Each structure stands twice: as structure tokens, then as C-alpha cells.
Amino acid sequence: MLEQYLDINPEVAAALAAGKPVVALESTIISHGMPYPQNVETALKVEQIIRDNGAVPATIAILKGRLKVGMTHEEIEYLGKAGLDVIKTSRRDIPFIVAKGVDGATTVASTMILAQMAGIKVFATGGIGGVHRGAQQTFDISADLQELANTDVTVVCAGAKSILDIGLTLEYLETQGVPVIGYQTSTLPAFYTRESEFGVDYQLDTPAQIAAAMKAKWDMDLKGGIVVANPIPEAHQLDRAMIDQVIADAVAEMDSKGIFGKASTPFLLAKVAETTKGVSLAANIELVFNNAKLAANIAVEYAK
Ligand code: PSU
Ligand code: MN
């Protein structure tokens, strides 16, 4: 049934069949999260970092209605060039993109779904979606959080961006039973900066400890994902006050323009990159590299 829709790249399929480590990667970060050509350069380098650390990368998207787990470099280039023309695809969108036979860039939520279909347990990205600022009024809560509640994949990210309400995002994850692990940190990283004022649920200091927690959780059929929050490397973090101001201005502009729904996150990401003249983009790229390495290390440990 599933095979009717799913194309697992041969290298990825061989690795999975042999129980070797594989790391899933999303594609909305390519199409909607970064501008061309940095998006494509980053996506390809991320795959290389995963290989250098002993795992096989599987970049995930929907192409002409086919669920792709593992893309070619040409496919990544195509998706990156198409950018915002590709439909941002979360859980609700998947059946329509497939039935129409069109292209879709997968968010954290839908990448988790496709990873689970293929049997991949570790996924690296930059930032997850969360509870947006003002969600008390707007109800804007990313479908990523609900997916983390239900789908058995570990997502390595750089914590929560302050385009989100970090405190409410943690409350939501707690209610949904999703553990938030700090990698070598006891405070939740805030994406561009290594720290926020919020604590994580557990600090773990090695990939082996994280792999052991994953195994325990899923051996006991405790459904759902795990968030691993990995602080941006010290040398690349931004000034907290500066970035918070940039984000506050971006949120105000979004509200005044009446932008909402699935357009919110891409608007805020683009605005922040534009205002900081690429300084935030450079930090974003570095933290994704850092997450790719940790995800590969976790996948290697989990495969032992
Ligand atoms: N945050 C980032 N970069 C991104 C995204 C979020 O720092 O590229 C993307 C991810 O694909 C994430 C999606 O799953 O935005 C969340 O969108 P929404 O808030 O509409 O659920
Ligand atoms: Mn949303």
C-alpha cells in the first residue's frame, strides 16, 4: 500500500535494511527557510557532514506527488531554486500534494511522518515550529508540536526561536508528553543564542545517553518524539538584545500586514534575515551544521 506512494532512495534503503545509521533532513528549511543559493549549498554540506560522521543522509520532500526519502543533488538544487513556489507541506497537506502529483517541501511535522514511514529515527533541522507569540488570541500553534506528540522520531534542533513564545512552547510539549533534552546544557537554547531563561527537562552530555533514552522510550511503546536542543556554537551566536529587537519588529510588521497561518513562519524568517543583512543567516547555517553532526552521532549510537 505504502510502496504505492513512497520512494526510498537505494542508498538509504540499503542502510536501513542493514541497520546502519540514517539521518532524515527536512526540505521546508530549503524552500522557505533560507534564500537561494545558500539554501542549496547548506543542504548539500549538511548531507556531507552527516556522511563524514558515519551516517547516511536522507533529505525528504514530495516531488511530483511521490514521497521522496533521500534526494539526489539535482533534486535538492531544483527544490532550492524553486523556493517559495514549492508548496509548504505539513501533515494536513500531504494527501492533496500526492493526489495532485505536485511538489511539496516538508516541514518538521511532515518530514517526521515520512521518516517514520521509512523507518528513520533521527532527524536534524534548524528550528522546530512552536507556539507563536500571541497564540492566546491567534491559536497559531505549529503542527510540528502535535507531530512530536505522536510520531517516534528524535528531532535535533537549536532550541526555540524567539519568533515563538518559548515558555508556551515548552508548556505545550510538556502537556503532550514530549521530552526536551538539552545537549550539554541545562537551559533551553534560543536558536541564535546558546541560552534562554527556560530550563530543559533533562541535560544529557553524550550521544550514547540520548540513544539510550530513545531506545528505552520506544522499547516501552511510549509513543512520540524527542526534542534534542543543541546550542549554537559559541563563535557563531548572535547578540541576544539585537536579535530580540529584530524579531519583535518583524512580529509587529507581520501583525500590521495581517499575515497569518502557514505564511507566518516563512515571513518572519525572511524578515529577520533581511534586517540583519545575512548575519542571522550565517548563524542559522552554522547551527544547522552543528545539529547535523550531533544527529549523525546519535544515529550511530542508536544503531549499535
Ligand atoms: N523555524 C526555522 N526555520 C525553518 C522553519 C522553522 O528556524 O525553516 C520551518 C520548519 O520547516 C518548520 C516550519 O517545521 O517552518 C514550521 O512552520 P509552521 O510554524 O507554519 O508550522
Ligand atoms: Mn502556524
pLDDT (tens, 9 = 90+) of the chain, 304 residues, equals 888 999 999 999 999 999 999 999 999 999 999 999 999 999 999 999 999 999 999 999 999 999 999 999 999 999 999 999 999 999 999 999 999 999 999 999 999 999 999 999 999 999 999 999 999 999 999 999 999 999 999 999 999 988 999 999 999 999 999 999 999 999 999 999 999 999 999 999 999 999 999 999 999 999 999 999 999 999 999 999 999 999 999 999 999 999 999 999 999 999 999 999 889 999 999 999 999 999 999 999 999 9
Tell me the CATH number for domain 2-303: 3.40.1790.10
The closest ligand to the CA of 128 turns out to be 1
Q: What residues does each domain of the chain span? A: 2-303
Task: Give the global pTM.
Answer: 0.98
- Catalytic-role residue among 68, 161, 262, 271: 161
Distance CA 227, CA 237 (A): 20
Nearest CA to ligand 1 atom 1: 127
Ligand 1 surroundings by CB, under 6 angstroms: 26, 28-29, 32-33, 90, 107-108, 126-127, 129, 142-144, 161, 262, 265, 269
69 is an annotated ligand-binding site residue: no
* Residue 26 annotated among the catalytic residues of the structure: yes
* Residue 161 annotated among the catalytic residues of the structure: yes
68 is an annotated ligand-binding site residue: no
* pLDDT at site 1: 85
* pLDDT at site 251: 95
